[in-house]
Structure 1
Amino acid sequence: MRIFWTFFWTFLLVNMVTYVVSSMIGVAYHFETGTTLAVVATVLILLIAQLIPNEPVHH
């Protein structure tokens, strides 16, 4: 369920950013570009979440 919600919100936010940026620079909006970026961003977010330790580090 965690992966689904991560992808869901990443998908919405990345497509929104893609739409706004493409409008600002005057190019056509491509849904495929936003979706591809959302999948890549989701994988990166989940990978970074796995690399961060859960427990505090004792010195």
Structure 2
Amino acid sequence: MEAEVAKLLRISTSSVRRLQQRRRIPFLKVGGSIRFTNYGVISYWARQRTETIERI
């Protein structure tokens, strides 16, 4: 699952893990596994875009 999120966001899997550990990207724990929802990933991506645009 981390690999799919990393590919979508164009970041490394270790970056996805770091975002999850810092609770910057929404996730669910299901039976000891980490799961990311489509909505959570897209909302994270949208927030990042907004922050970048505001810096310019």
Using structure 1 for the length normalisation, give the TM-score.
0.40
Give the helix-richer structure, 1 or 2: 1
Greater length-normalized contact order (CA 8 Å, ≥ 6 residues apart): 1
